[in-house]
Structure 1
Amino acid sequence: MGLSSPIELDCPSQSRVTSPRIFLREIYGIVMIHQPHKTLTLGLLLILGFSYCSEPTTEAPAAQTASPEAAAVTKDSPTAEIEAMLHEHVAILASDEYEGRAPATPGEELTINYLRDQFAALGADPGNVDSYFQSVEVTEITAVGAPALTIQGSDYEASFAYGEEQVLGSQQQIPFVTVQGSELVFVGYGIVAPERNWNDYADIDVTDKTVVILVNDPGYASQDPNLFNGNAMTYYGRWTYKYEEAARQGAA
C-alpha cells in the first residue's frame, strides 16, 4: 500500500503566553497553543499555589499511638480548606460559561482573566514588570487549501476528503511537507510498555513507513480492568505519546 498526502504549510505567526511567575512549585497547568494573536493558556488553575496561602504547619511530637481524634481530618483542617478551594476553582473553570476554555474562543479570554485575578488575589506580584502576561513568538502550522490523502493498493485506490474524513498536520517547521509512496503498517495501539509486557512494535520494521494506530490504550478502549488501568486512560493512550513512539521506531 502507499500513502500520498502533500501539504503546504505556512509557518510564521505570533501569540502570547500567560506566564505569572509567582515562584511557587505547587502550580500545575496545561499549556494550550493555538492560532496567531491568541493566547497560550495555563489550563486549569487547580493547585494554584494553595500552599502559598495555607497556614504553616508544625510537626507534632512523635507518639506511641495516635488517637482517632488526632488522626481525623476535621472540617476546619487545612486539607478541608484546600479541597473546598479546589472544588470552587474547578467548578468555575468547568462551567458552561467558559465554553471548554478552548484557545481562540471567548472562554479562553475568560480563563486567562480568571487566572490573572486569582494570582492577584493571592498577593502574587506580576512576573513581567506590571503584567501577568508575556508576549512570545509562536509558530503556527496550517494546511493550505485542501490537502489530499490517497491510499493505493494493488487493485484499488481510495481518497479521503480533508476536514470530513481526514485531517493532516505536521510539527516540522518547514514550508512544505509531503509523504508519497510510503508503505502503510498497522501497529495496533502503537504502544511500547515493557512494565506492562506490551509491545505493539515487536518484530515489525516501520522504518520510513507510515504507521496506522488505534486511539486510546487497550484498557480504556475495552474497559477491561485487567488491561493497563482499565477505564482510567494512561499516557500511552495519548496522541502525543503515539507520535513520539512512532518517531523513535523510525516511522516516516
Structure 2
Amino acid sequence: MARKKKADEGGGGAPAWLVTYSDLVTLLLTFFVLLLSMANMDKMKFNDALGSLKGAFGLSGSVGKIDITKPKVISFAPMDDDFINRLYQKVNTALTRLRIDKDIDLVKDRGAVVLRVKESILFDSGSTLLKAEAHSILRKIAALVKPLPLNMRIEGHTDDLSSANPQSSNWDLSVQRAVSTLKFFASEKLIPLERMSAVGYGAQQPIVPNTSNEQRALNRRVEFVLESLGHYKKELPYLIDANDQLPF
C-alpha cells in the first residue's frame, strides 16, 4: 500500500525542463517579431515595442530612455503614375487655354510634372535680371500653379560653358536666376512664399549632351517642378479619388 501511494504522489504533467524550454521559445519568437515591427524605426512604434519587450521579460522600472530623434528633413515625395498622368493632362489643357504652350515645355520627370522654360524667354545671356517681357509669362505660370494644392520648386540650369564673369560660376548663375524668379512671384504676391523654393544646379543636370550650340541652348533653362511634400494621398484625397476635380 505504501508503495502505491508513493506512485500516486508523483502526478502527471510535462517535465520541468520542457516548460522552461517552451517559455524560452515563446520569448525568442516575441523578440524577433518585435525586431521586425521596429524595422521602419518609427519612434512611437519603437518605444511601444520597447515597453512590450520589457514586459515580456518581466522587467520593471526604467532601463534608460532610448532617444532616436532625427533632425527633420523635408524630402520630395514622388507622386504615383496615375496622379502624374492626370495632372499632366490638366496642366497641358491649362497651358493651351492660357496661350503659353509655345513658350513652355511640359514634361513628366523625376516623379513630378515640370514646366520647362528656355533661358532666352526669361533672361538675357549671362544676366540674372528678368526681362520685362518675361513678367507676363510668369504671371500666367502663377495663374496656372496657384489653384493647385502643390508646392513649386524653381530650378535654374546652365550649359557646360564657363561663365563670362570670372567672379561668378555657372552654379552661381543658376542659383541667382532661380532666386530672381522666386522674388518676382513673392513681390507680386502671385504665389504664397511658403509654397515655393529655389535651387540652382549649374550644368549638373543637362537634358541633352552639351555637344552643340543648339543643345546647349536647351540646357540653359528654368524649370518649375510641381511637387508634393509628405504623403500627398492623405493631404489631397479629392485629387486622387476623383478624376475630374483638379482645380481648373
Q: Taking structure 1 as the reference length, what is the TM-score of the superposition? A: 0.25
More helix by share: 2
Q: Give TM-score scaled by structure 2 length.
A: 0.25
Larger Rg: 2
Larger RCO of the pair (alpha carbons < 8 Å, separation 6+): 1
